[in-house]
Amino acid sequence: GAAIFWGILIVAFLFSPSVSAAEEIAVSAAKYGVQYKTHVQDYGWETSWKSDGELSGTVGESKRLEALRVKLTGTNLPANANIQTFVHVQNIGDRGPFEMDQVAGSEGRGLRLERITLYLNNLPDHQLRYNVQVQNKGWLKDENDVSTWFISGQSAGTTGEGLRLEGIKIAVVEVNEAYDAYTKALAAVNEDDYTTQSWNEYQSVVEDNAVTTEDSSRDINRATAAIIAAQKFLELASDM
């Protein structure tokens, strides 16, 4: 009886969720992030890097941002992954691209940043998001909802209004690019536009190529290609 008891106890320990291999992998899995700091009117460079959506700069102090430095973080970061920064500086105009950790803007000249554009390159399934606090306008996007923030390549700030940037938040978020392309392909056609027969035939292809976010990118891409190919055989109802 004792042997059976200890056997059960050992098995329970080995397979306890608290020590599962899956959890350990999840905890130790490398994640990519972003760090940034700004040069602020009267304060100079911030003493510490901000990261993953934290406020860099000020709110409610009427202090201009004068320069920005940005860099990616994370272990096993792809060698060619990078962020490029473009800025619009008072009296100077558009400047960039600035590579990671370079000073984008000016120092000691009392010139405000008015607009910032960031580009995330060569980091698949990740997206760069950012938000700015602007003089007289406040945060241009919902500061508490990263999904609403500016996306890589979008201009954040103002043009020709003479307004200073006062704060910025930047984050790197994971996305499933393959699955996004799959759902976009499905949404590209509408049943009402096509004949019943051709739509039914198309739907059989869709059903045969149903995937979820849990499927591999290769399988999702294959399904997307099959669906797009099948769409070419749809017959417009107006053609009948």
CA distance 169 to 171: 7
Residue 177 pLDDT > 60, yes or no? yes
What is the C-alpha to C-alpha distance for residues 13 and 19, in angstroms, rounded to an integer? Answer: 8
Where does the pLDDT of residue 240 fall: very low under 50, low under 70, confident under 90, or very high at 90 and above? low
For the chain, give the mean pLDDT: 87
Q: What mean pLDDT do residues 232-237 have?
A: 94
CA–CA separation, 219 and 217 (whole Å): 5
What is the model's pLDDT at position 19? 41
Say which residue, 52 or 85, is predicted with more confidence.
85
pTM exceeding 0.75: no
**Whole-angstrom Cα distance, residue 77 to residue 30?**
9
User: What is each CA distance from 183 to 151, 192, 235, in whole angstroms?
Assistant: 19, 18, 21
pLDDT at 2: 53
pLDDT in tens, 97-148: 999 999 999 999 999 999 999 999 999 889 999 999 999 999 999 999 998 9
- Give the start-end residues of each E strand in the chain: 33-40, 44-45, 50-51, 56-57, 65-73, 82-89, 93-98, 104-105, 113-121, 126-134, 138-139, 150-151, 155-157, 165-174
Question: How does strand 155-157 pair with strand 104-105?
Answer: unpaired
- Amino acid code (one letter) for 51: S
Q: What is the pLDDT of residue 194?
A: 94
pLDDT value of residue 213: 81
pLDDT at residue 214 in the model? 83
pLDDT of 223 higher than 90? yes
